[in-house]
């Protein structure tokens, strides 16, 4: 069965630190990959997505992610975090059939001013 793993459950960083959140998936076929952010008390907001082409994807708010097919990974990065980046981050994967659209367990990011 397809699954999505986010190994970092809770990350605490100081402002201006660099961020990398891990996401790995298990699925044998072609997938489309997403990162979502959820600010406290709010709904999911799309940060970026990958479906083909350049494996380095740039999203909103200075975030980027790199798809490494050989590692089944799609890690999220940001060179310099801000206090306002404090939120929950979810990786998601859609199978090439569209039937399976699963989320990882989420990573809680706290940025200390």
Find all residues with CB under 8 Å of 46, minimum gap 6, and list them.
34, 35, 36, 59, 60
The span from the CA of 76 to the CA of 96, in Å, is 22
Q: State which of residues 16, 105, 110, 112 lies at the interface with other proteins (CB under 8 A).
A: 105
Nearest one of 76, 91, 105, 107 to 31, comparing CA atoms:
91
The span from the CA of 100 to the CA of 102, in Å, is 6
Q: State which of residues 16, 46, 56, 60 lies at the interface with other proteins (CB under 8 A).
A: 46
Residue 49 interacts with other proteins (CB under 8 A): yes or no: yes
Nearest one of 23, 110, 26 to 65, comparing CA atoms:
23
Residue 94 interacts with other proteins (CB under 8 A): yes or no: yes
Residue 100 interacts with other proteins (CB under 8 A): yes or no: yes
The span from the CA of 75 to the CA of 65, in Å, is 5
Residue 59 interacts with other proteins (CB under 8 A): yes or no: no
Q: State which of residues 29, 53, 70, 99 lies at the interface with other proteins (CB under 8 A).
A: 99
Chain positions 25 to 44 lying near other proteins, rule: CB under 8 A, are 32, 34, 43-44
Q: Work out how close the CB of 60 gets to other proteins at its nearest, in angstroms, rounded to a whole number.
A: 14
Q: Which residues bind other proteins (CB under 8 A)?
A: 32, 34, 43-44, 46, 49, 51, 90, 92, 94, 96-106
């Amino acid at each position: 069965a397809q699954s999505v793993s986010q190994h970092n459950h809770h990350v605490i960083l100081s402002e201006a630190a660099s961020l990398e959140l891990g996401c790995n998936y298990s699925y044998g076929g072609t997938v489309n990959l997403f990162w979502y952010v959820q600010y406290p008390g709010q709904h999911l907001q799309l940060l970026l997505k990958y479906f083909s082409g350049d494996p380095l994807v740039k999203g909103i708010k200075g975030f980027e992610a790199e798809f490494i097919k050989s590692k089944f990974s799609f890690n999220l990065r940001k060179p310099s975090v801000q206090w306002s980046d404090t939120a929950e981050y979810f990786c998601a994967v859609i199978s090439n059939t569209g039937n399976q659209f699963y989320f990882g367990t989420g990573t809680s990011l706290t940025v200390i001013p």
